[in-house]
């Protein structure tokens, strides 16, 4: 059957018009700016939420609970909200306010890897120990990954369709990318995107038993790196059709210019050492605007500090981008926030563009001599035209986001 070819749909430009974040650096973009550029610090501390007596890794970067206490009660319905609900509510509220509370997003796309995992843990322990029967119903109700987002939506007075992406550590970037696709292709005018994840014992022990977590400090791209530390965070971005944003006089924090997604089928937990899939994701992200790789001025790397990830990403960046391009992994400060990472680092990339500053890669001494990029070790000013933000995840998920300065049509 011959089907008439319809013309390709018009591609729209996408503006970032709202930002909201809660991370180990603090609550809100103002605190985050200080932590990122002015007083960057390694946020890893000894874990106290559960026993780490039998794990190699003892530390994680957590959000201070006192930062979220003003949000209680989060809603009439949710009397004992999970920390992830509070983090999402804080991030969502800030993003909406920074977007001028207008327009109403049509759809919400959020990334996560473990949802309300600590509730699942509580439920399981309660079953095994035959205790806490009354708390089990609460644990079950708050385990599902969409619950923190629903709680946050209710807190902010929103109701809209919700998509949750669980592409492992690339979830946050994938969620932002999916929002970009919806607006670019004309399916939506305004989308709320982001990611969240909270610290949980199961995931902590999981990375530890794989020896992916370090008993020392996190040293992305360092030749003596020994693994990651986990973190927790929530980040929300409001994406809007660029023409609409300009017409209503919105503050445009950056343009989300491109998105690349590839799948690396090499191994469930390890990337192909050639870096081919990562490189392809970055190329795809630049292709939407035909931006030459030489124009990329900064890459916010996935940079988990595991031997395999950094080696692969290092090869990919060296092959694609110009020699001397600035690279840093902000996981050196806040750890790996899993499903939130891509969205958190998207916000860091936007802030870098607007400040013309590159955040540092802490704890770095020396890297692989074959790499051609510069690992930026102290925060510095730099004219930035284009920024790439990379995320790689278990299952071979790769995502890359291309940001450039917000500009009029």
Partner 1 sequence: MNPYLIGKAWVTALGTGQEAFQAALTGEAGHISVIGSHVWQGKYECFTVPPEAKESGNRHPRMRRSSPISHFAVQAARAALVDAGLDLEAQKSLAVIFAISSGSVVYTRRFYEQITQSGAGQASPLLFPETVYNAPASHLAAQLDAGGISYTLVGDGSVGVTAMRLAADLLDAGDADRVVVVGSEEVDPVLCDAYATWRMATRHRRGKQHEMLLGEGAAAVVMAREAGTEGNKQGPSRFDVIDRGETFLRQSDLPEAADALFGRLQTICPNPCAMVASTWRDPFRKAEVGAMQSHFGSVPVHFPKRSFGETLGASALMQTVFAGYFLEREDSKASVVVSSFGFNQQISGLVLAAPDSAEQTTI
Active site (catalytic) residues? 169, 302, 336
154 or 374: whose CB is closer to partner 1? Answer: 154
- Shortest CB 269 distance to partner 1, Å: 5
112 or 312: whose CB is closer to partner 1? Answer: 112
Say if CB 353 and CB 208 are below 8 A apart.
no
- Shortest CB 211 distance to partner 1, Å: 8
262 or 312: whose CB is closer to partner 1? Answer: 262
Residue 116's Cβ-count burial label (10 Å; 0-12, 13-18, 19+) is buried
- Select from 372, 361, 357, 360 the least CA-distant residue to 324: 372
- Shortest CB 336 distance to partner 1, Å: 14
189 or 211: whose CB is closer to partner 1? Answer: 211
- Cα radius of gyration (the chain): 20
206 or 293: whose CB is closer to partner 1? Answer: 206
- Shortest CB 199 distance to partner 1, Å: 14
203 or 252: whose CB is closer to partner 1? Answer: 203
259 or 371: whose CB is closer to partner 1? Answer: 259
- Shortest CB 343 distance to partner 1, Å: 16
222 or 313: whose CB is closer to partner 1? Answer: 313
- Shortest CB 161 distance to partner 1, Å: 4
Whose structure tokens read 């870096």? 275
Q: What order do you get walking across the sheet with 59-61 strand by strand?
A: 45-46, 59-61, 230-231
- Shortest CB 90 distance to partner 1, Å: 19
What string of H, E and C letters represents the secondary structure of the chain? CCCCCCCCCCCCCEEEEEEEEEECCEECHHHHHHHHHHCCCCCCEECCCCCCCCCCCCEEECCCHHHHHHHCCCCCCCCCCCHHHHHHHHHHHHHHHHCCCCCCCCEEEEECCCCCHHHHHHHHHHHHHCCCHHHHHHHHHCCCCHHHHHHHHHHCCCCCCEEEECCHHHHHHHHHHHHHHHHHCCCCCEEEEEEEECCCHHHHHHHHHCCCECCCCCCCCCCCCCCECEECEEEEEEEEEHHHHHHCCCCCCEEEEEEEEEECCCCCCCCCCCCHHHHHHHHHHHHCCCCCHHHEEEEECCCCCCHHHHHHHHHHHHHHCCCCCEEECCHHHHCECHHHHHHHHHHHHHHHHHHCEECCCCCCCCCCCCCCCEECCCCEECCCCEEEEEEEEHHHEEEEEEEECCCCC
- Shortest CB 235 distance to partner 1, Å: 18
CA–CA separation, 407 and 409 (whole Å)? 7
């Amino acid at each position: 059957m011959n089907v008439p070819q319809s013309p390709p749909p018009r591609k729209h430009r996408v503006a970032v018009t709202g930002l909201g974040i809660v991370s180990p650096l603090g609550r809100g973009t103002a605190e985050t700016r200080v932590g990122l550029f002015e007083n960057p610090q390694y946020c890893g501390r000894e874990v106290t939420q559960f026993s780490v007596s039998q794990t190699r890794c003892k530390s994680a970067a957590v959000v201070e609970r006192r930062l979220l206490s003003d949000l209680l009660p989060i809603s009439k319905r949710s009397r004992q909200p999970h920390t992830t609900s509070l983090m999402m509510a804080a991030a969502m509220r800030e993003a909406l306010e920074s977007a001028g509370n207008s327009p109403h997003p049509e759809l919400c796309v959020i990334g996560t890897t473990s949802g309300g995992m600590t509730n699942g843990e509580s439920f399981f322990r309660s079953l095994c120990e035959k205790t806490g029967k009354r708390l089990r119903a609460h644990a079950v109700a708050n385990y599902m990954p969409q619950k923190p987002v629903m709680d946050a939506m209710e807190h902010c007075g929103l109701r809209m369709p919700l998509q949750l992406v669980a592409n492992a550590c690339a979830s946050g970037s994938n969620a932002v990318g999916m929002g970009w696709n919806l607006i670019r292709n004309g399916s939506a005018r305004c989308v709320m995107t982001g990611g969240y994840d909270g610290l949980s014992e199961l995931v902590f022990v999981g990375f530890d038993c794989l020896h992916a977590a370090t008993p020392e400090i996190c040293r992305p791209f360092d030749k003596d790196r020994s693994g990651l530390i986990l973190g927790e965070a929530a980040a929300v971005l409001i994406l809007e059709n660029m023409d609409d944003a300009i017409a209503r006089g919105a503050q445009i924090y950056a343009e989300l210019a491109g998105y690349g997604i590839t799948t690396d089928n090499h191994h469930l937990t390890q990337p192909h050492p050639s870096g081919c899939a990562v490189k392809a994701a970055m190329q795809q992200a630049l292709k939407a605007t035909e931006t030459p790789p030489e124009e990329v001025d900064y890459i916010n790397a996935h940079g988990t500090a595991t031997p395999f990830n950094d080696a692969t990403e290092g090869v990919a960046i060296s092959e694609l981008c110009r020699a001397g391009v600035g690279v840093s992994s902000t996981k050196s400060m806040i750890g790996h926030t899993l499903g939130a990472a891509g969205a958190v680092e998207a916000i860091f990339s936007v802030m870098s563009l607007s400040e013309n500053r590159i955040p540092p890669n802490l704890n770095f001494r020396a890297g692989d001599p074959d790499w051609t990029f510069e690992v930026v070790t102290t925060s510095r000013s730099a004219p930035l035209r284009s920024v790439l933000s990379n995320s790689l995840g278990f299952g071979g998920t790769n995502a890359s986001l291309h940001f450039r300065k917000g500009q009029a049509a």
